[in-house]
Chain A
Amino acid sequence: MSLIFVVALPFFGALLPGLMNSAGRSACAGVTFAVSLAAFIGILTNLPMVLAGEVVMARVDWMPSLGLNFTLMLDGLGFFFALLILGIGLLIIAYARHYLSRDDNMGEFFTYLLLFQGAMVGIVLSDNILLLLVFWELTSLSSFLLIGYWKHLPEGRQGARMALMVTGMGGLAMIGGMLILGQIVGSYDLSVILQNRELIQADPLYVPALILILLGCFTKSAQFPFHFWLPHAMAAPTPVSAYLHSATMVKAGIFLMARMWPVLSGTPEWFMIVTIAGLVTMVLGALIALFKHDLKALLAFSTVSHLGLITMLLGTGTAFGAMAAVFHILNHATFKAALFMSAGIIDHEAHTRDIRRLGGLRKLMPVTFMIASLAALSMAGIPLLNGFLSKEMMLEEALHTKLFGMPWLVPALATFGSLLSAAYCFRLIGHVFLGPVRDDYPAKPHDPGAGLWVPPAILVVLVVMIGVAPFLAEPFVKLVTASVLGDAAEVPKAYFKIWHGLVPALYMSIIAVVGGLLMLAIFTPALRLWDATPRPEAKTILDAIVATIVALARQIILPLHNGAFTRYAAIASVAIIAAGFHAWNTGTVGAATRVMQAAGPVPIAGWLMLVAATAGMVLLHRNRLLSLILIGIVGLMVSVGFVFFSAPDLAMTQFTVEVVTIILLLLALNFLPNRTPIESTVLRRVRDTGVAVAGGLATFALAYYYLLRDAVGTPISEFHLANSYKGGGGTNVVNVILVDFRGFDTYGEIIVLGIAALLIYALTETLLGGPVRARLLNRQPDQERAGDVHPMMMVVLTRVLMPVILLVGFYIFWRGHNEPGGGFIAGLIVSIGVVMQYMASGFVWTSARLRYPYHGVIGAGVLIAGLTGIGSWFVGKPFLTSDFTYVRIPPFEKFELATAALFDLGVFLAVVGAVMLSLESFSRLARRAHVPDNEHPMDIDPSRDDPLQIGAKPAKEGG
């Protein structure tokens, strides 16, 4: 199966659990399982190629100009991780089906899980590092949703937030590092980057890039000092912990270090940072884990410790270290997932995870005991289990690693870490399962149903199988190691064996195991010592840092954002004017290249009217109705100006928009007070006048200067004029630009218009549903109502005019491609026709005749426009490519049929729907206010005083 499908499957599959939610829990889990299984099989179909050492690629160009392409790559390493993610994912899904209770929304859970799975698979299969970053951030986001899945728990929410904060900040750092890396190499494709080891390591920016990328890896993989988020993420449901913290999320950082190993490793900087961070994390994590009483917290810190171990192995920079790391990733994923699931079982059955309240479960839960003990012993490094093998390899590697010139330091610390690790494993077995049966468990523990124990059991079978017969895993691990190493080193010759003879690593192992047992024996005094030792609490520190930042932000923002919007407007205006003034002072102005055109008396008259109306608006703005009339004059003059300066399309648009805007403002003014009281001080008015005059002068100067100069470059309009008829098939260049050259813009624009209308509708609904409704009902109109609400002359006239208006709209629409007109203008004209019906005949009368809701009209418009655009895909052209032909249907003249006309139809419908929906929403408010609204189309029939049924009326009237 193509890699694209493997990555896309979980994302598209994420839609299914939500849909199947109502079909029952098993159906919901089943469909999730099926999606994961399909992806799992999909990745397996690539196994032969991977085994043959090929690198499977898949590529879709996304934004080639930015170097961002949807390029996927599958080699041994990617295959290994994808297999872990999908394989353990399957077990987790089966486990979660039985783990989640009836109160949990399963559809939501599995949706998040699949999103996360898709993002993880995306990380390990990405070839493009920018794409990898996208998936990387997606894992942060989806894991946030998963960790905070139990929204009612404060720990869950806080843990999720902390995880997002830490991994998100690391992700940001990594973006910087990756961009530097891409700049150094000149390509964002991993396959190219991995070939350029010398180039990268010689670059002066190598160290910053390394540090930034490692910040991303360390935060994600919970390396010291960023380890603290992981235990807090344990508030998540156990399936999430088992998935995220065994095989996936925390391994993403490890994966990236392994992926980048060939180009980043081997330098002293890499060695120092990675090895030390890994070593410290390993020892510290194991030490804290030993003294944790919460089973999941213990496992969380042990995960931190083991991730440190893997990091240290990668840090050494040797081929053997890399191989041991790969092997331990596999082993850790198996035993840790099994352990998390066992902890979940105990929590589920005994209703507590507190080790101090458990003990003696061996007899009560024999199956769980077997599973958990085998997994824990493997983690402790007991022979015949897989953890032993990779731990031996780690100790072997530690022996050859020298830090700060002290050859004993790393081996000693590694042994100490292993000792602690063995101790907490023994504690887990000893304090939970062994010992006497107690009689004070919160609930009577017993083994769970097969649904809960089979998934971990499958993993434990793997643990034992690899442990007993390591040669089974060897070829696979070596294959993966080969792809980690790339060209940088040869795969080591060493064989995986249980018995290597009496080598030093074996003695270190024995010390660790015996020491671990001794540690458990002195556990009680050690715990007392631990509790007495003061330790820094990471959460407190983080909370303090966050609180400081928030306080600082508040101090800056609150004085600036005091809710005085007029002040913001004034500050913004002054700042813009000042910036313009600065540019004016420092820049140079070329000589005028155009001659001023003479102005006749008509333009001067128009100008005078415009200026007078504007001045009147400013001076008389307290009388709101008057200023509304005056702004109508301004709009009219602007329309006339457009006609004068060769823009007929604009004039028509401005004119029709003017009509609907004024109607809209009138509807609003119906409610608002009709006078603006005097509130501002004289000083303030002087200040405002000053800013306004400065802004006016600035725009005047700018406009005046550029109107007298030609454009510096050749405008693109030359192209539009030349190709409008040839390529677009229309002679009205403005319309061809709208529906063809820049059709995508127009498409976006009608969507915005539709959204605006829907927003107005939603706001109206909210207002009518809330307390405003009562206020509206009680409201008394402040003006006397007209006696003749629906004058007969107007009713008759608008009805006669309606077909004429529709005809005009149709005409304007069709000629739009060649003459002034088009979808926008036709839509506005038709809207005005419909509004006239509302005004003349009343809301009820018009609504009763309305066959299609306006929402549907908007949607149809956007859909038609969109489908027209998509149509061009079927002939292999980019979105919204237009085509046209000429047809002749006798007895008409030959006329043109263009796909652009279909697009324009979409524009038309969207405009009609949007304008009508907005105005209708406003008038619905008005209707609510005046309850005795006239339901009759004409109200001069005195005989009709009886209340009338709305539904029966249209038939009687006959339309």
Chain B
Amino acid sequence: MKPRIVLTLFAVISFLSSLLMGSEEDRLFYDGVRAEASGDLDQAVHFYLQAAKLSHSSNLHGNLANLYFKKEQLGHAILHFRKALLLEPTNKELSINLQFAYEMAKTPPLPNDFAHSYFASDTFSFWCVLCAVVFWFGFLVFIYLFFFNPSRAVLFYFTIGWIFSGGLTGYATHFSHIQNSELLREGIAILPTENEANQTKNISLRRFAGETNSANTTLLPGQSLIIDLGKEGKIRTHESADGKNWFLARSQDGKKKGWIKEDEFGWLIDRNKQE
């Protein structure tokens, strides 16, 4: 009887304390807000990054982006605005801030054409569901017509329509799947923290994975890049002699390609959480 009471009390106290104190990421977030209010931007960034290691929220990444913007680290600002928008795509304020950050960084914004807007990565789930609905609905109707409707003509025309609509939704699903898989490999070019204040410096995409190699081309801070896949469908990476990881990347439009160091870009979606 006695151990039961102790365990119950312990559980109740733990529950109440968790309610009162909040989670660790909450605590870190509020620490960040306080540090920012007191003007200590570096400390605020530190707290927010600590919170981002535990969990993510659009407000957290939005605040981080704002701080980086104030610190004139535009690459980091764009990276975190993008993260915030992934979590809350309908947030108009974040979109406008992102546009302004692109403008300030003199970086071309994300393409907003028909294909990239209607088949964007965040529409993948929609297309998946629609594709499934079209397939199953058509299949059920087809079975009905096949077994229960004597008119073969109706069956024929319906089948043509079904295949056509299924093809369209299937294509949309496939295209958005490509966008989605690219998003998982997307990074934002950033300058290492100590250099980012220097607006004139660009990020090099090198011919080979090595510090001393000449640059094939350069990217502006905040510019998107896609990490290439190897033959096995895995990300193309190389570990140099100094222990640094290099990735083969290309720009969003595919015109620029080269090797980039791991600290010269930020993953839009953390790699460890992808796996």
A in complex with B: no
Residues of B within 8 A of A (CB): none
Residues of A within 8 A of B (CB): none
